[in-house]
């Protein structure tokens, strides 16, 4: 499980647990655009919660065409629209008893927002093309890089939905402003990609962690993740980081590993 030091994931989950909310909402605002690790934190909160044995379902709202978003979120019945050749269950049903993470929720169209508000307040909805009401028990975590209060002011986002989502808000700063998390993230990604590639990596030199910590990471966690993945793929007995652009990390050893296993 990913453990982070500077973020309030543990405290927030404790607040959920102590308050006893059966249908709690949380929201992340990723400052400095994309790649700040919103999904990692949402998954970490799920993994330490009482719902950890239940589904964790995610959906990037900006990646789905607007005319298909309602179907993705709530599902549809056969024949509900042209091309609906079979019934489809939505993400709320998939996540029942667990956690649904809606990334880039600021991209949800105004016309769909009342239906989302209803399922948050009443825990029920209807699939597209159906009059049957479905009840769910889902904890929703939403994230966005947009300024939702400003969108509310301009009439681009419903105020009642914003306040319903804003139960436990977290402002997630860019990685350069939370350098104490870098070592945890490096260990997490090294273990993840080492497992995928069948390599047993046992040591990360201190000077390497110092170099990674001193870098500004304009691409945030996504840039760090890609760098570690590339390093693990290329590693033999040791691996050297090339100059990054614009980088202040000098060439140095990144990882040692012993007993490499190749699948």
* Residue 48: CATH number of its domain: 3.40.50.300
Boundary (domain end) residue, out of 173, 196, 214:
173
Question: How are the residues of the chain apportioned to helix, strand and coil, as percentages rounded to the nearest 5?
Answer: 45, 15, 40
Question: How high is the pLDDT of residue 63?
Answer: 93
Q: Which residues pair with 90 in a beta bridge?
A: none
Question: How high is the pLDDT of residue 134?
Answer: 94
111 in a domain, yes or no?
yes
Assess whether 141 and 195 both reside in one domain: no
Assess whether 142 and 196 both reside in one domain: no
Q: Is 172 helix (H, G, I), strand (E, B) or coil?
A: strand
Tell me the mean pLDDT per 10 residues along the chain, length 263: 49 46 51 63 80 93 92 94 91 95 93 95 93 92 89 96 85 81 87 86 81 88 88 65 43 45 41
- Compute the distance between CA of residue 216 and CA of residue 246 in angstroms, rounded to an integer: 9
C-alpha distances (whole Å) from 154 to each of 105, 148, 166 are 16, 10, 18
Assess whether 86 and 154 both reside in one domain: yes
Boundary (domain end) residue, out of 141, 156, 173:
173
2 in a domain, yes or no?
no
3 in a domain, yes or no?
no
229 in a domain, yes or no?
yes
206 in a domain, yes or no?
yes
Assess whether 214 and 246 both reside in one domain: yes
262 in a domain, yes or no?
no
Boundary (domain end) residue, out of 173, 199, 229:
173
User: CA angle 147-100-220, nearest 5°?
Assistant: 50
Assess whether 32 and 158 both reside in one domain: yes
- Compute the distance between CA of residue 185 and CA of residue 37 in angstroms, rounded to an integer: 10
Assess whether 151 and 248 both reside in one domain: no
Assess whether 151 and 45 both reside in one domain: yes
189 in a domain, yes or no?
yes
Assess whether 101 and 223 both reside in one domain: no
130 in a domain, yes or no?
yes
Question: How high is the pLDDT of residue 259?
Answer: 42
Q: Total domain count for the chain?
A: 2
- Compute the distance between CA of residue 5 and CA of residue 176 in angstroms, rounded to an integer: 14
Assess whether 134 and 213 both reside in one domain: no
Assess whether 143 and 222 both reside in one domain: no
Assess whether 161 and 194 both reside in one domain: no
Domain hosting 192: range is 176-256
Torsion of CA 92, 94, 99, 100, to 10 degrees: -50
- Compute the distance between CA of residue 167 and CA of residue 24 in angstroms, rounded to an integer: 8
- Compute the distance between CA of residue 97 and CA of residue 50 in angstroms, rounded to an integer: 10
Assess whether 59 and 20 both reside in one domain: yes
- List the CATH number of the domain containing 238: 1.10.8.60
Q: Which helix (H) or strand (E) holds 29?
A: strand 25-30
Q: Which helix (H) or strand (E) holds 73?
A: helix 66-74
Q: Which residues pair with 28 in a beta bridge?
A: 143, 170
Question: How high is the pLDDT of residue 23?
Answer: 45
């Amino acid at each position: 499980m990913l453990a982070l030091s500077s973020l309030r994931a543990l405290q927030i989950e404790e607040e959920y647990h102590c308050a006893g909310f059966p249908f709690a909402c949380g929201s992340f605002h990723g400052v400095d655009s994309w790649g700040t690790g919103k999904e990692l934190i949402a998954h970490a909160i799920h993994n330490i919660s009482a719902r950890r044995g239940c589904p964790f379902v995610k959906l990037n709202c900006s990646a789905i065409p607007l005319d298909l978003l309602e179907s993705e979120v709530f599902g549809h019945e056969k024949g509900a629209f042209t091309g609906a050749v079979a019934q489809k269950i939505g993400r709320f049903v998939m996540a029942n008893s667990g956690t649904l993470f809606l990334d880039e929720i600021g991209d949800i169209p105004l016309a769909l927002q009342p239906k989302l508000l209803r399922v948050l307040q009443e825990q029920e909805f209807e699939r597209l093309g159906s009059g049957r009401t479905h009840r769910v028990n889902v904890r929703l975590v939403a994230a966005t890089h947009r300024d939702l209060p400003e969108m509310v002011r301009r009439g681009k986002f419903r105020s009642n939905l914003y306040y319903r989502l804003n139960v436990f808000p977290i402002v997630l700063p860019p990685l350069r402003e939370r350098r104490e998390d870098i070592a945890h993230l490096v260990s997490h990604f090294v273990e993840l990609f080492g497992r995928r590639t069948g390599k047993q990596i046992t040591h990360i030199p201190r000077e390497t962690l110092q170099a990674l910590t001193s870098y500004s990471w304009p691409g945030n966690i996504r840039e760090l993740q890609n760098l570690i993945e590339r390093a693990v793929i290329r590693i033999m007995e040791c691996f050297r980081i090339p100059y990054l652009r614009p980088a202040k990390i000098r060439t140095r050893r990144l990882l040692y590993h012993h007993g490499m296993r190749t699948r």
